[in-house]
Chains A and B, each alone.
Chain A
Amino acid sequence: MDNNKKISIEVSDDLRDTPIRVAYVKSHSSIAVERQRDEEVMTFPHLIIREALLFQLLLIVMVIWSLFIDAPLEGIANPEFSPNPSKAPWYFLGLQELLHFFPPIVAGVLLPALVIIALIVIPYFSINWDRSSMWEGNIRKKFFRLSICVVLFNIPFVIYKAAPLYVCSIIIYSFMILPLVFRGKNGFMRRISRLGLADWIMSWFLLVTTVLILIGVFFRGPEWRWIWPWIDGIY
């Protein structure tokens, strides 16, 4: 992109030699801006040395972790005796927790499939990823649309009494409308008012996943009853 042609002003009386040109830029059209290229460095050694160090560090951390904490091993598998509760690996405990609220076809098939499909279509869904922050333009209209969508979205969760899901929705929704209530100019408010809708949806997904897994790991005991880990221990 190095454009070394210098712009110079020629002055002459002869119109055939230097015709007068007028250029104007309309307010809607953008001006071509020449951007600086990113500075580049040699991969060897700059990146390779970082990768090597990172791997060493990772190995050290993993070995220390493995030296001090043993992987769990219980008695030999016995199909006759099922432990109470039987828990899936932690990364599936969110799904198992959903199973507590929804029929198996929803929690075990529909929701995971929807999550995977949603993840796949993310890059194809919207072209305007950066431009639209939440509260620009017609704020009143946007607020009503958002509120209606949130309510409709959460009706099934309320019907099935899936408290963790709609509580997470309420939390995220409150954060979304926070910039409308407090029009503060401080860092945090400005930051969250700039987040786009996509960020909020992903934050909701992240919050729901984390909360469900934490509940599944720490707060569920025999018969999948609610327990307090500091009283009843971890199952």
Chain B
Amino acid sequence: MKYYDKIMKGRIARSIFRTGLPTSNYRKSLVILNNLFLHIHPVKVKKSTLKFTSTFYLGALSFGLFIILVVTGIYLMFYYHPSVPLAYRDMKDLEFAVSNGKLLRNLHRWSAHAMVLIVFLHMLRVFFHRAFRPPKEFNWVIGVFLFVSTLLLSYTGYLLPWDQLAYWAVSVGTNMMKATPIIGDDIRFLLLGGNVIGENALLRFYVLHCVILPLVITMLIGVHFWRIRKDGGLSSGSKQVADGKRDMILGKNLGVSTEEVLNDRDAEK
């Protein structure tokens, strides 16, 4: 512990972690404020929202699954060629030649299924807790788009193994598209790059799955999180939501007690 303290108070550690050890409330708030990844959080959160049953942590779980999917997905891209005979051979390579390739593919596939389910459950939780009430209406709408993006990501990924399951499942879906009046056939042509599911379709699904949709969903996730902050934090569904006193322009909750934090800061000076 002595050495740990010495290192953490040393020049190098302080140049990396400017905050120092989070020993006081002031420094604990700096941990959040000074960190690019953590500062999406407020410095303080309502205690009621931390309770398991108030959110079941479904949003956090969805995001966790998304992270797993991004990491395993990038890994898989090292081993995958989006072209017709090669795509399927790469699946076999993952199974038999690549070390832990099978685990990698399993992890990606099961996480994708789990994400569809968890995102849906998250939506139900928010609905039954009425957590979409003003000023959060639009964040709900973004959430619906996130759900649709999740489905599309899962669906475009479904074709990539290029096995019988993938091919015919995607056939069923794209044939449904044909039923759209007037533009049905054109949408299908645009998506498949032709009239049948072939090389072009595989390439298009690959680009959608690995580039376009991840970009879209990442952006939407960013806005979704940002708006939770701006709209005054999570709603736990408990009736004792903080008072309605809100800054009308920023939508933030006013009157958050920062006294404790400021007292700490003054004490340190």
Contact = CB atoms under 8 A, between A and B. Distances in A.
Interface of A: 1, 35-48, 50-51, 54-55, 58-59, 62-63, 65-67, 69-79, 81-83, 86-92, 95-96, 99, 103-105, 107-109, 116, 119-120, 122-124, 129-130, 199, 202, 206
A75 B50 contact: no
A142 B63 CA distance: 42
Chain B interface residue bracket vs A:
35 or more
Interface string B184-205: 1000000000001100000000
Contacts of A78: 164, 167
Contacts of A67: 103, 106
Given A66-B103, A71-B109, A199-B128, A44 B31 contact: yes
B64 interface: yes
Nearest to A195: B128
Given A40-B257, A206-B124, A82 B168 contact: yes
B111 A54 contact: no
A51 B163 CA distance: 37
A41 B163 contact: no
Given A42-B43, A48-B38, A66-B110, A74 B165 contact: yes
Interface string B135-162: 0111011001001100100110010011
A51 B61 CA distance: 9
Interface stretch (B7-15, B206-214, B216-224, B238-246): B238-246
A192 B130 CA distance: 17
Interface string B26-37: 001101100000
A133 to B, nearest CB: 13
A189 B130 CA distance: 22
Contact of B132 (A1, A65, A88, A123): A123
Contacts of A1: 243, 245, 255
B50 A55 contact: no
Nearest to B65: A58
Nearest to B257: A40
B176 A41 contact: no
Given A39-B46, A44-B38, A71-B105, A77 B64 contact: no
A116 B166 CA distance: 25
29 contacts: A35-B242, A37-B242, A39-B46, A41-B45, A42-B28, A42-B29, A42-B43, A54-B57, A58-B68, A67-B103, A69-B110, A72-B165, A73-B163, A77-B167, A77-B197, A78-B164, A78-B167, A79-B167, A82-B171, A91-B154, A92-B151, A104-B176, A104-B178, A105-B179, A109-B180, A116-B144, A119-B147, A123-B140, A202-B124
B252 interface: no
